[in-house]
Amino acid sequence: MTILVAGGTVVGPTGAAPADVLIDGETIAAVVSPGSTALGSDLAAGAERVVDATGRYVIPGGVDCHTHMELPFGGTSASDTFETGTRAAAWGGTTTIIDFAVQRQGERVQDGLAAWHAKADGECAIDYAFHQIIGGVDDDSLKAMDELVDEGITSFKLFMAYPGVFYSDDGQILRAMQAAAGNGSLVMMHAENGIAIDVLVRQALARGETEPKHHSYTRPWQTEAEATNRAIMLARLTGAPLYIVHMSARQAVACLAEARGEGFNVYGETCPQYLYLSLEEHLSAPGFEGAKYVCSTPVRSRAEGHQDELWRYLRTNDLSVVSTDHCPFCFKEQKELGLGDFSAIPNGIGGVEHRMDLIYQGVVDGRISLERWVELCSTTPARMFGLHPRKGEIRPGADADVVVYDPQGTTRIGVETHHMNMDHSAYEGTVVQGKVDTVLSRGAVVVAGDAYVGRKGHGRYVRRGQSSYLV
Ligand code: URP
Ligand code: ZN
Ligand code: ZN
């Protein structure tokens, strides 16, 4: 099947220009400028199907490099399956996710990976890949890291938080970084000082401070900045490249920016929740409402100025990627596990469907350029995690993951309209400028206007190569 996406403005990380995109089967065959006499223009004349993109942007499908479908956490499991979560992602213009397979202390890494394949294979609406969480660094798991690199798992997440669950001590982190430096993989770090946080949590609960807002008060910016700095120093010591996930404290990003300025190979991501939500307006909502906004790192105080600074760091490339850290839990029966004890609220916010729209608001508000939107949400995550040039850009030979985005449309976000398996939305009632119009995944139309026309099992597992950012 050949498809012509015609009449739109093709946006990439380095520019935007009118062009038609010709798709042949699963890949992009040509990007044809108006009036071109190149080979592509002949092919275009014979396309079997035309998608009209007049007045719209044509962008590479979103790459969400941080999701947690069906993650067991806090005595329950994230409420989206790979089927429901990837369908919701498609609705929102994301055509590839990278989820986290889990290994815990005492388990074989290979078993953790096999369990994730069992959950995802044959279920996904869009393409998917995995990072591997190493929750127990020891001789066996270090050896397994080398094996996994050969299987297309080229990034490993470690935790400085969650003692007794996923936590690694500094010696374990050092050893895992040495392994990564040796096998060409990328270390992803959850950078919060979990030992200090656990003390603050116990002290708060002993004082009777049980409401959701204390989740943020007991994870103050110092615990993120300290861990970020420590992770950077260990990365510098070992020569391992480092990618810090879900950054929310401006002081932590300042540490990262300083190291980047000195030329070290360190990167950071943030997520829409840290750009839009705050301790004052959301986590401190009356009663137990604030539980909807409990995630780690926490959403932070607007009075402390984190949100505006994160936008600035996105513009200056000190933050390189926006992912979602999609980890949804329903309010009823899941978030409610923490009634009377904020530390028992499962950590996570669902947002895989809304990232492209929410970050597009940065373009609408003049905080970032159109090109930077595409770079943050698609091109850089693809390059960072070894998916480029297959994913992340509209260019001949790439997978035909293409989104037609209508800048004149509007999108209402809320539980009545979203497709994630959640009984609430962190952005309930928000109406944003811009709308996903058509989504193609490897040449198949999966969203057309207001209809989902994809299918479970269309999405394929993608083996990843090395990060383009390794030196
Ligand atoms: O609150 C969060 N972020 N939940 C998911 C697990 C993680 O640390 O990424
Ligand atoms: Zn994390
Ligand atoms: Zn996460």
Residue nearest to atom 8 of ligand 1 (CA): 296
Q: Give distance in angstroms: CA of 170 to centre of ligand 2.
A: 17
In the structure, which protein residues have their CB atom closer than 6 angstroms to any atom of ligand 1? 68, 190, 246, 295-296, 325, 327, 347-348
Q: Which amino acid is at 333?
A: E
Rounded (10°) CA dihedral 27, 31, 35, 38: -70
pLDDT for the residue 471: 79
Query: DSSP code of 138?
Result: S
Q: Give distance in angstroms: CA of 3 to centre of ligand 1.
A: 39
Beta bridge partners of 368: none
Which atom, in ligand 1's list, is nearest to the CA of 190? 8
Q: How far apart are CA 346 and CA 344, in angstroms?
A: 6
Q: Which amino acid is at 138?
A: D
Q: Give distance in angstroms: CA of 282 to centre of ligand 2.
A: 20
Which of 67, 133, 325 for a ligand 1 pocket mutation test, highest count of atoms within 8 Å of Cβ?
325
Which atom, in ligand 1's list, is nearest to the CA of 294? 1
Q: Give distance in angstroms: CA of 433 to centre of ligand 1.
A: 28
Q: How, if at all, do strands 94-103 and 62-67 pair?
A: parallel
Q: Give distance in angstroms: CA of 366 to centre of ligand 2.
A: 30
Which atom, in ligand 1's list, is nearest to the CA of 68? 5
Angle made by CA atoms 264, 269, 273, in degrees to the nearest 5: 155
Q: Give distance in angstroms: CA of 194 to centre of ligand 1.
A: 13
Q: Give distance in angstroms: CA of 187 to centre of ligand 2.
A: 13
Query: DSSP code of 355?
Result: H
Residue where the block lists tokens 């807002």: 213
Ligand nearest to the CA of 323: 3
Contact 338, 292 (CB under 8 A): no
Which atom, in ligand 1's list, is nearest to the CA of 100? 9
pLDDT for the residue 48: 96
pTM confidence score: 0.98
Class of the 61-384 domain?
alpha beta
Three-state secondary-structure class, residue 271: coil
Phi, psi for residue 183 in degrees, rounded to 5:
-105, 5
CB-side neighbour CA atoms (13 Å) of 207: 9
Q: Which amino acid is at 360?
A: Y
Closest CA to 311 of 260, 247, 263, 374: 247
Contact 327, 347 (CB under 8 A): yes
**For the chain, what are the domain ranges?**
61-384
Residue nearest to atom 5 of ligand 1 (CA): 348
pLDDT for the residue 210: 98
Cis check for the bond before 212: say yes or no (omega within 30 of 0): no
pLDDT for the residue 40: 55
The per-residue pLDDT string of the chain (471 residues; one tens digit each, 9 = 90 and over) reads 999 999 999 999 999 999 999 999 999 999 999 877 665 556 667 899 999 999 999 999 999 999 999 999 999 999 999 999 999 999 999 999 999 999 999 999 999 999 999 999 999 999 999 999 999 999 999 999 999 999 999 999 999 999 999 999 999 999 999 999 999 999 999 999 999 999 999 999 999 999 999 999 999 999 999 999 999 999 999 999 999 999 999 999 999 999 999 999 999 999 999 999 999 999 999 999 999 999 999 999 999 999 999 999 999 999 999 999 999 999 999 999 999 999 999 999 999 999 999 999 999 999 999 999 999 999 999 999 999 999 999 999 999 999 999 999 999 999 999 999 999 999 999 999 999 999 999 999 999 999 999 999 999 999 999 999 997
Residue where the block lists tokens 């020891």: 138
Q: Tokens for 387?
A: 């998916």
Residue nearest to atom 4 of ligand 1 (CA): 348
Q: Which amino acid is at 254?
A: A
**Ligand 2 ion: Cβ-proximal residues, 5 Å cutoff:** 190
Q: Hey, how many other C-beta atoms are within 10 angstroms of the C-beta on 58?
A: 27
Beta bridge partners of 156: 132, 187
Residue nearest to atom 3 of ligand 1 (CA): 296
Q: Terminal CA-to-CA distance of the chain, rounded, Å? A: 40
pLDDT for the residue 36: 77
Instruction: Give the tens place of pLDDT for each residue, 186-219.
Output: 999 999 999 999 999 999 999 999 999 999 999 9
Which atom, in ligand 1's list, is nearest to the CA of 295? 1
Rounded (10°) CA dihedral 458, 461, 466, 467: 50
Ligand nearest to the CA of 64: 3
Ligand nearest to the CA of 165: 1
Q: Give distance in angstroms: CA of 340 to centre of ligand 3.
A: 25
Query: DSSP code of 343?
Result: G
Three-state secondary-structure class, residue 461: strand
Alpha-carbon radius of gyration of the chain: 21
Residue-by-residue DSSP string for 413-449: ESTTT--SS-SS-TTTTEEEEEEEEEEEETTEEEEET
Q: Give distance in angstroms: CA of 125 to centre of ligand 1.
A: 23
Inter-axis angle of helices 250-261 and 306-316, nearest 10: 20
Contact 361, 432 (CB under 8 A): yes
Which of 73, 159, 188, 274 for a ligand 1 pocket mutation test, highest count of atoms within 8 Å of Cβ?
73
pLDDT for the residue 46: 85
Q: What is the 3-state secondary structure (H, E, C) of 15-35?
A: EEEEEEEEEECCEEEEEECCC
Q: How far apart are CA 125 and CA 457, in angstroms?
A: 6
pLDDT for the residue 306: 98
Q: Give distance in angstroms: CA of 299 to centre of ligand 2.
A: 13
Instruction: Give the tens place of pLDDT for each residue, 437-457.
Output: 999 999 999 999 999 999 999
Which of 159, 166, 216, 295 for a ligand 1 pocket mutation test, highest count of atoms within 8 Å of Cβ?
295
Residue nearest to atom 7 of ligand 1 (CA): 296
Instruction: Give the tens place of pLDDT for each residue, 27-60.
Output: 999 999 987 766 555 666 789 999 999 999 999 9
Contact 98, 388 (CB under 8 A): no
Q: How far apart are CA 370 and CA 381, in angstroms?
A: 16
Q: Give distance in angstroms: CA of 29 to centre of ligand 3.
A: 35
What are the C-alpha distances in Å from 343 to residues 84, 214, 258, 327?
A: 28, 9, 33, 17
